[in-house]
């Protein structure tokens, strides 16, 4: 499968996942889809709590689900934010967590739907990645 087709499929999975988000406070649903090294796609959604600090982001939810299934190497990520007016990338905490399991050249697509999106890489999202820099030493 071509890279664009693969990212389109991943974005559709993220968009579908966002329908199950639990966002009664912000009304801002997020769906994430991770492509594992073995080709498996694992999805996650944001799960809000009235104590906002306890909210779980879709990206970290997907990562935790994948790791629970024994998958810890991810080659691509798609994020869907259907309630936003523009594409919204992952928060800083998610960027940091995902950098543990994704290489800097791993593909990332984030968008409000499957036609309005931004394509980038994990390295461009987290340009000064101390984890990978320390491995070089």
CATH classification of the domain holding 26: 3.40.140.10
Range of the domain at 58: 3-136
| Mean pLDDT, rounded, for 48-53 | 92
Q: Whole-angstrom distance between the N-terminal and C-terminal Cα of the chain? A: 36
Residue-wise pLDDT for 85-119, tens only, equals 999 999 989 999 999 999 999 999 999 887 889 99
b/e per residue 93-118 (b: at least 16 CB within 10 A): ebbebbbebbeeebbbbbbbebeebe
- Choose the weakest-confidence range: 41-50, 52-61, 98-107, 118-127: 118-127
Task: State both tokens at 20.
Answer: 């199950």
Nearest to 91 by CA among 105, 106, 79: 79
Angle between helices 58-68 and 3-18 (to 10 degrees): 110
Residue-wise pLDDT for 30-48, tens only, equals 999 999 999 999 999 999 9
Work out how many domains the chain is built from and give that number: 1
Catalytic center residues: 59
């Amino acid at each position: 499968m071509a890279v664009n087709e693969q990212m389109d499929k991943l974005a559709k999975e993220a968009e579908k996942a966002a329908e199950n988000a639990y966002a009664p406070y912000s009304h801002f649903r997020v769906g994430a889809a991770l492509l594992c090294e073995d080709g498996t796609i694992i999805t996650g959604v944001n799960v809000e709590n009235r104590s906002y600090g306890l909210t779980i982001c879709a990206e970290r939810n997907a990562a935790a689900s994948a790791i629970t299934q024994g998958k810890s190497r991810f080659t691509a990520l798609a994020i869907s934010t259907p309630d936003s007016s523009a594409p919204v990338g992952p928060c800083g905490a998610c960027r940091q967590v995902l950098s543990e399991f994704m290489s800097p050249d791993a593909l990332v697509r984030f968008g409000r739907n499957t036609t309005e999106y931004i394509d980038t890489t994990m390295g461009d999202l987290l340009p000064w990645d101390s984890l990978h820099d320390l491995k070089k030493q």
